[in-house]
A and B are shown apart, each in its own frame.
Chain A
């Protein structure tokens, strides 16, 4: 399946090819520690066990402040 992701510090969305199921799987694929981000889909906050669908559009929010 294809997932669209956007990091809050970046302007553009990226199209990711993803063959597994959950948010946890996606973060593993992207090599992102779940402790450092919050994922949303249509402004709904996701947890690691949430299942992703083809053409999902996700935003990845940073937990750590940039100060």
Chain B
């Protein structure tokens, strides 16, 4: 198949035509840069932290954020932040890939380790917490990651936190929240996360918001980024996987399904956010123990620490 813009061989078929390697790379980069500009994701005075795992989305967003800053001659500081949860035979490979990538592209890399912060790797903490609470590893990992990313981004004086969330992630989240009637969670979605600014929260932004997962994978491949596809040993086939498969089936039959979900969601998002601000009677708390942001008196991370402490006592 031929590119719609030149006589080159197409590498992807999109809803509006096919593109060769050169035109696809331009299309993809322009889309990301337009998103950054339209939603004002990066300001001239920002210090930017890119949450990076070494996977395809984070490498792409890290590379393109740096390219955007250079292209528009923004003297903004940029660094990558990796969370090492402590998962044997998994995280070490992605750390190695990310270190190589950051060295090659002259990007500072900060690594925050769960072992150093909480005294436990996820591998050691999971059986203890699971015995006490039945929590699954992804629940624990999610709480730890959100806590550490925000804490270390702030500690390193970041004013924006760039994440690699893509169009598929967002469409899945919208559908999952709809299935669970969880409007308050949906209010936190969008290219700029959250509903209100808070001193303790570093503003999260998503430059890949309009990039499909397949496009990002193709971008990585064509750019020659080294991406490891080792599956996390704790990866579960939960609701998200079912929603992902369902959306991919729809997309295959009705091109543009995921984009349409995003477009219609963005039309109502300002209303959802406004409504959430109005009904949000309990503003964000500060955890009594660690002074980090919390929904209740004690944050979820400190609750997990308590469980670990009690679990350890029982074992002794």
How far is the CB of A66 from the nearest CB of chain B, in Å?
Answer: 3
Tell me which residues from 134 to 151 in chain B have a Cβ below 8 Å from any Cβ of chain A. none
CB pair B252–A35 under 8 Å, yes or no, is yes
CB pair B1–A67 under 8 Å, yes or no, is no
Check A8 for interface membership: any CB of B closer than 8 A: yes
Which of B1, B214, B245 lies in contact with A50, CB distance below 8 A?
Answer: B1
Which of B18, B232, B248 lies in contact with A35, CB distance below 8 A?
Answer: B248
Interface size on B, residues (CB 8 A): 29
Which of A33, A45, A63 lies in contact with B252, CB distance below 8 A?
Answer: A33
> Could you count the A-B residue pairs with CB atoms below 8 Å apart for me: how many are there?
59
**Interchain CA distance A40-B53 in the complex, whole Å:** 25
Of B7-15, B272-280, B294-302, the segment with at least 4 beta carbons within 8 Å of chain A is: B7-15
CB pair B214–A67 under 8 Å, yes or no, is no
How far is the CB of B245 from the nearest CB of chain A, in Å?
Answer: 8
CB pair A47–B1 under 8 Å, yes or no, is yes
**Interchain CA distance A47-B214 in the complex, whole Å:** 12
CB pair A36–B248 under 8 Å, yes or no, is yes
CB pair B221–A34 under 8 Å, yes or no, is no
How far is the CB of B252 from the nearest CB of chain A, in Å?
Answer: 5
CB pair B244–A64 under 8 Å, yes or no, is yes
CB-based nearest A residue for B19: A47
11 contacts between A and B (CB under 8 A): A8-B229, A34-B252, A36-B214, A36-B248, A45-B21, A47-B1, A47-B10, A48-B13, A64-B244, A67-B231, A67-B232
CB-based nearest A residue for B138: A67
9 nearest CB pairs, A to B: A66-B231, A45-B11, A35-B248, A63-B217, A49-B1, A63-B214, A47-B1, A65-B55, A67-B232
**Interchain CA distance A36-B249 in the complex, whole Å:** 10
